[in-house]
């Protein structure tokens, strides 16, 4: 299957993408991984992207699109893929359609993870990260440390990253509503969108997602 995963920041896209890609036996292709891989390997596209990032500029759509195209042409994606973070706007969605049509392919579905805005803010703004090891992550509501402000694993100080502050989260949501949310209507016009609630336990959301995607496979 060829799937696009969409949803606001804090919807759990990365977590769900990993489980879904395994269940569907397709590669999980995320924009973040694409950028890191290209920059780390010093590819032509990675060097170009880094030049924009170093200046504090947004990486142009055409660079992101070229990275995604290169990744989707690799052998492990021949039978399908799960895209996470791409397309990010309607222009990228149109470019993806053109790419697939050129190869005689099309998307099978677009999975929209729905989360109330207040829950998004609660999920992200409640995160606390260890200063000693950023992989040690806690949450004031969902996964509190035994002692407030202290990492259970190493005793390091827990802090809230600037990116996780409520003001920053709400600004990220504004960007999502303005730039990314319109692709849902774009794909709805093609009859591709299935929307599920992303509330609840991870495995419950995964089950909902698999059932929704199964219905799209049946429609194909």
- Active-site residue identified among 50, 69, 88, 170: 88
Per the annotation, the verdict on 55 as an active-site residue is no
Per the annotation, the verdict on 13 as an active-site residue is yes
- Active-site residue identified among 13, 71, 122, 208: 13
Coil, strand or helix: which one is 101? helix
Estimate to the nearest angstrom the gap between the alpha carbon of 23 and the chain centroid. 17
- Strands 137-139, 127-130: pairing kind: antiparallel
- Other C-beta atoms lying within 10 Å of the C-beta of residue 64: 23
CA angle 136, 140, 142 (to 5 degrees): 85
Per the annotation, the verdict on 127 as an active-site residue is yes
Per the annotation, the verdict on 188 as an active-site residue is no
Per the annotation, the verdict on 71 as an active-site residue is no
Nearest to 1 by CA among 202, 199, 205, 194: 194
φ/ψ of residue 28, rounded to 5: -90, 115
Q: Rounded to whole angstroms, how far apart are CA atoms 90 and 59?
A: 16
Nearest to 3 by CA among 187, 177, 181: 187
- Active-site residue identified among 143, 147, 161, 188: 161
- Active-site residue identified among 71, 123, 128, 172: 172
Residues facing 140 on adjacent strands = none
- Active-site residue identified among 2, 71, 127, 216: 127
Catalytic residues: 13, 88, 127, 161, 172
């Amino acid at each position: 299957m060829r799937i696009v995963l969409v949803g606001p920041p804090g919807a759990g896209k990365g977590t769900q993408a990993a489980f879904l890609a395994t269940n569907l036996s397709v590669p999980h292709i995320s924009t973040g991984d694409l950028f890191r891989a290209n920059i780390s390997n010093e590819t032509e596209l990675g060097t170009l992207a880094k030049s924009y990032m170093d200046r504090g500029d947004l990486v142009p759509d055409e660079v992101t699109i070229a990275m995604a195209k290169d990744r989707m042409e690799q052998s492990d994606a021949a039978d399908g893929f799960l895209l996470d973070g791409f397309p990010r706007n309607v222009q990228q969605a149109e470019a993806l359609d053109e790419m697939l049509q050129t190869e005689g392919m099309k998307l099978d579905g677009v999975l929209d993870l729905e989360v109330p805005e207040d829950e998004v803010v609660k999920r992200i703004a409640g995160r606390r990260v260890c200063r000693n090891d950023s992989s040690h992550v806690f949450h004031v509501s969902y996964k509190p440390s035994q002692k407030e402000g202290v990492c259970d694993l190493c005793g390091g100080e827990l802090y809230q990253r600037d990116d996780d502050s409520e003001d920053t989260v709400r600004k990220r949501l504004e960007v999502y509503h303005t730039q990314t949310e319109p692709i849902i209507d774009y794909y709805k016009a093609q009859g591709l969108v299935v929307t599920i609630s992303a509330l609840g336990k991870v495995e419950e959301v995964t089950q909902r997602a698999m059932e929704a995607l199964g219905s799209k496979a049946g429609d194909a």
